[in-house]
Amino acid sequence: MASINSSILWKHFEVLTLTKNMRLESATNQSNLEELKRFSDWILQIGEGRIGTIINEKLLVQIPNEFLIFPSDNPIDDIINAIYPDIVRNFDDTGFFQDRAILAPTVEIVEEINDHIVQLLPGTEKEYLSADSICGSDAYCDVDVDWINTEFLNQIKCSGLPNHSLKLKKGVPIILLRNIDPAGGLCNGTRLIVRDLGTNVIGAEIVSGSHIGDKTCAANANEKGDKASLIPHSRRPALPSLQIPP
């Protein structure tokens, strides 16, 4: 497929270059500003190929120790302690979770980290289960669904779909997976802290965006699996459309 800059119209395009790092605007003090600027400059130098050493026709970049986590016998503990230091003492502090997150390459690793963090926190754990079923859609009327039972549906795990089992404690950070009330700050990606665990409702406090500190509740919501990944189409009424962010 030809790229857009190969088009005869390319000469009429105006190329705009991003010159202002908006992340630097979020610095709360001079120390944070200098640290963010130093890191941003380093990332920019890597992207432009202005840093590193060429050895055997390969560009090698040395990563500073401050950006590395040196593994031990328990890598899960290592990354949790690095990103959430002294989490048991600090989990009551709302601001502790606002600027911290762990990225993982697979859903399985995310789940392992999540479960470990929940076990570390004090308090009583409460489990919420979804009620999975097959959508009664005419689009799948010619598909034999007799072999698909509830146990099979419960085991489905994919990005963007809450797990069948959601284990929570008060104080656990969670993330919203769908747009519920964008004007009220409840949209896909909103981070919250669990404050109350009801039978069918979860009370939470918003800790990201422009509605930090607002209290809200989350109840049952239907989630549908992607047609491309789930055949036939499945439905997962989950409480709520939430997931624990690592």
Domain that holds residue 127: 69-243
The tokens describing 44, both together, are 């920019």
Does the structure show a pLDDT above 70 at 242?
no
| 172 and 138 part of one domain | yes
pLDDT score for 164:
81
Q: Between 134 and 196, name the one with better pLDDT.
A: 196
pLDDT score for 18:
79
Does the structure show a pLDDT above 70 at 235?
no
Q: Is 38 left (phi over 0), alpha (psi -120 to 50) or beta?
A: alpha
| 228 and 109 part of one domain | yes
| 28 and 97 part of one domain | no
What are the percentages of helix, strand and coil residues in the chain, rounded to 5? Answer: 30, 20, 50
pLDDT in tens, 96-122: 888 788 888 888 888 899 889 889 989
pTM, 2 dp: 0.66
Mean of per-residue pLDDT scores for the chain: 79
pLDDT score for 12:
92
Q: Decide which of 11, 37, 68 is a domain's last residue.
A: 68
- Tell me which residue has tokens 């990944």: 229
| 86 and 195 part of one domain | yes
Of all residues in the chain, what percent carry a pLDDT higher than 70? Answer: 81
pLDDT in tens, 81-99: 999 999 888 888 888 888 7
Helix axes 107-120, 75-83, angle to 10 degrees: 70
| 51 and 21 part of one domain | yes
Q: Decide which of 30, 50, 68 is a domain's last residue.
A: 68
| 121 and 186 part of one domain | yes
Q: Lowest mean pLDDT of 58-72, 139-153, 158-172, name the range.
A: 139-153
Number of domains in the chain: 2
| 6 and 96 part of one domain | no
Does the structure show a pLDDT above 60 at 231?
no
| 63 and 116 part of one domain | no
Please enumerate, as own/partner, the contacts of 202-210 that have beta carbons within 8 Å and a separation of 24 or more. 202/128, 202/168, 202/174, 202/239, 202/240, 202/242, 204/174, 205/94, 207/94, 207/95, 207/97, 207/98, 207/173, 208/98, 209/185, 210/185
